[in-house]
Structure 1
Amino acid sequence: MLHRRAFCAAAAAGAALAIAPGVRTQPRLEKNRVVIAVAGKASFYYLPLTLSEQLGYFRAEGLDVEVVDHAAGARALQALLSGSADICSGAFEHTLNLQAGGQFFPCFVLQGRAPQVAMGTSTKGFAAYQAVPDLRGRRVGVSAVGSATHMMASLVAARGGLRPADVQYVGVGSSAGALSALRTGQVDAMSNSEPVMTMLEQKGDVKLIADCRTLRGTAEVFGGPMPAACLYASEDFLRRAPNTAQAVANAVVHSLKWLQTAGPGDLIKTLPESHLLGDRALYLAAFDKVRESIALDGLVPPEGPRTALAAMTTFDASFRPERIELDRLYTNDFAQRAKERYKA
């Protein structure tokens, strides 16, 4: 027979485990503090990452996450390569560029299943536009030369039979400068992200000719599903810190699940005021345009990497597709476990 004191202690311990079963099964994190590099944190492109912070999902996983916002995607990537960041939140095509250079940094959580970019022609300065070949000799504004907005515009042009030299691409940023460039006639068309495109649409400044904020529009431009925003890290990090990577994946997939049922009021209450563009109605209108593009469960669709590879090959004549191992561009292992945990 158990001694009374020992019995009570055992019962108390059993009750504690019954109340909090996760305590018994929670894996030990290899590192609690994680630095995630990003560029343009306040954009819709990285909304799941911001929500993971604001909703406390990183903390719930035992993580102390610092999201460092950089001025450009190249700088965020450099932070990852230099070791000052553990993970990068960026475009899926970064994984291709890295691998082409002999570096393996797979995506392990997908945040966006479409690029969130739209393209339109100026209703004032290019009213004569009828079809893509009309872009020959015209100036197309993009957020930056070499960016995802540039890639989309070049693919639209290529599908219309134009060569890269047929169109002049002009970097105009992704804020007030982009709006001014189109409205003052510095460019004849615009390929840009949100909220720029919604602002131009609301004022009737553009006539849309391609829309990669939707799955259908993305398939029309890219020929299939195009993975967009994602979390990626070195293969070495994922091997050395699998529990930490899993905890990060859990948090982000949890936020993706939250987004599936969140209403406009939920977003307004959750996000920092600085993210709302100074105009809540505009923010919600832009969010409505991109909502379909946000990933549902963090998983990369099987055909997605092949679509991305074809796009890169078309966009960059110097890109060497034969160097790419598609199965090393991503892993769905972490997102799948997170999906099962949260039934996303």
Structure 2
Amino acid sequence: MPISRRELLKTVGAAGVLGALPGVVRAQKVALEKQSLTIAVGGQSLIYYLPLSVAHLKGYFKDEGLDATIADFAGGSKALQAVVGGSADVVSGAFEHTINLQAKGQFYRCFVLQGQAPMIVLGVSKKTLPDYKTPADLKGKKIGVTAPGSSTNMMASFFLAQHGLKPSDVSYIGVGAGAGAVTALRSGQVDAIANLDPVISTLAKEDAIRIIADTRTLKDARQIFGGNMPSGCLYTSQAFIDANPNTTQALANAIVRADKWIQAVTPDEIAKLVPESYLLGDPELYKLALKGNREALSPDGLVPEDGPQTALNALAEFVPHFDRTKIDISRIWTNQFASKAGQTYPHV
């Protein structure tokens, strides 16, 4: 039976629409084992987690056929607890948590990278420590971190260890990752702070802090950690990956698209996309912070080859009595999904 001209035009039109939505087409080719899932994150408004927000706001998860709910917590350690406890499926968090979990006999794996440097900054209060000279001056002081046990806690402890101080020489106070963190430093609740942008840029603009350690550039991060230090990523249990390989691939596709979009657009475009609350009342400062952190954001979702060992070395310095010989770093990461995502989406 011959097809009518009207039916032909309808068919061609539909094909044209689907062709313009490559994510939709690809999602339809492969059945997802799990369409609805929850991603836990600790401080979503931070630039550290920008690829997650972009993937959500740009509809990249939906393009892959995913119904992704984002559960935001005060810090990365809280997000980790959510996935271990079963209330979340995947974590958007710090790479090194996969190592800490394996040390406890729990096997979790990073499958797509969001950040290739930690982006964490340690600064001392000019109000409560106006005469700060060396890290030794922090002994007995309060350091604000996003949450105890989080990557901000680890970075601060690692820095202090390099200068002869133990974690017990200071008090770590959870202050979150937004306006509350800024208030904690301003009001003198803490004497120093390990946090990320836009929190750090806000405090620096006010001349409220003196920065003493900075990992927002690859050069500085390598100097502090001794190599490439992967940071924000999506990680989940090996059991989840084994049971849901297509869903895992769909998540990686969305994040790699977001990674590439961030590198391709201007800070103005990013500032217009994110919720107003992310800007902490100062859009221009947020855009300046974006420029300062762009290098630290992953361009392709791939974990650098030396990154896992660098993270292991850092964690071994941070965690008391940590036995690095029991860690198989080959089981904490894979580039399989990010590499395939890059082939699927070679351009923005």
Asked if Structure 1 and Structure 2 have the same fold, meaning a TM-score greater than 0.5 normalized by the shorter chain, the answer is yes
Residue 144 (structure 1) shift? 3.2
**1:226–1:304 Cα contact (<8 Å) kept:** yes
Residue 5 (structure 1) shift? 4.4
Output one character per residue of 1:202-261: Cα deviation in whole Å (capped at 9) or x when no partner.
111222111011111211221111111111112122122211111111111001111111
Output one character per residue of 1:175-203: Cα deviation in whole Å (capped at 9) or x when no partner.
44544444454544332222221122111
Report % sequence identity. Answer: 47
Which deviates the most, 124-133 or 214-223? 124-133
Provide the rounded CA distance (Å) in 2 between the counterparts of 1:241 and 1:145. Answer: 31
Determine if the alignment matches structure 1 residue 267 to structure 2 residue 270: yes
1:40 corresponds to which letter in structure 2?
A: G
Counterpart among 163, 167, 174 of residue 164 in structure 1: 167
Which position in structure 2 is the counterpart of 1:103? 106
Which position in structure 2 is the counterpart of 1:306? 309
Which position in structure 1 is the counterpart of 2:156? 153
Which position in structure 2 is the counterpart of 1:321? 324
Root mean square deviation, CA, Å: 2.9
Provide the rounded CA distance (Å) in 2 between the counterparts of 1:18 and 1:287. Answer: 38
Counterpart among 238, 242, 245 of residue 239 in structure 1: 242
1:22-101 matches, cutoff 5 A: 23=25, 26-101=29-104
**Cα 1:206–1:310, aligned 2, differ >3 Å: closer, same or farther?**
same
SS of alignment partner, residue 107 of structure 2? coil
Which position in structure 1 is the counterpart of 2:119? 116
Provide the rounded CA distance (Å) in 1 between the counterparts of 2:132 and 2:75. Answer: 33
SS of alignment partner, residue 56 of structure 2? helix
Provide the rounded CA distance (Å) in 2 between the counterparts of 1:314 and 1:96. Answer: 13
Provide the rounded CA distance (Å) in 2 between the counterparts of 1:34 and 1:116. Answer: 28
Which position in structure 1 is the counterpart of 2:229? 226
Which position in structure 2 is the counterpart of 1:132? 135
2:278 corresponds to which letter in structure 1?
A: H
Consecutive unaligned residues in structure 2, runs of 5 or more:
none
Determine if the alignment matches structure 1 residue 257 to structure 2 residue 260: yes
Which deviates the most, 31-40 or 158-167? 158-167
Output one character per residue of 1:277-329: Cα deviation in whole Å (capped at 9) or x when no partner.
23212322222232221111111111111111111110111322222110000
**2:198–2:289 Cα contact (<8 Å) kept:** yes
**1:238–1:245 Cα contact (<8 Å) kept:** yes
**2:198–2:279 Cα contact (<8 Å) kept:** no
Which position in structure 1 is the counterpart of 2:197? 194
Provide the rounded CA distance (Å) in 1 between the counterparts of 2:339 and 2:120. Answer: 27
**Cα 1:234–1:138, aligned 2, differ >3 Å: closer, same or farther?**
closer
Which position in structure 1 is the counterpart of 2:336? 333
Determine if the alignment matches structure 1 residue 282 to structure 2 residue 285: yes
1:330 corresponds to which letter in structure 2?
A: W
Consecutive unaligned residues in structure 1, runs of 5 or more:
none
**2:76–2:147 Cα contact (<8 Å) kept:** no
SS of alignment partner, residue 109 of structure 1? strand
Provide the rounded CA distance (Å) in 2 between the counterparts of 1:202 and 1:313. Answer: 34
SS of alignment partner, residue 48 of structure 2? helix
**1:118–1:197 Cα contact (<8 Å) kept:** yes
TM-score (norm 2): 0.86
1:90 corresponds to which letter in structure 2?
A: G
Residue 333 (structure 1) shift? 0.1
**2:38–2:70 Cα contact (<8 Å) kept:** yes
Provide the rounded CA distance (Å) in 2 between the counterparts of 1:231 and 1:80. Answer: 12
**2:45–2:178 Cα contact (<8 Å) kept:** no
Give the total of aligned pairs.
339
SS of alignment partner, residue 165 of structure 2? coil
Residue 35 (structure 1) shift? 2.1
Provide the rounded CA distance (Å) in 1 between the counterparts of 2:325 and 2:277. Answer: 44
Computing the radius of gyration from Cα coordinates, the structure with the larger value is 1
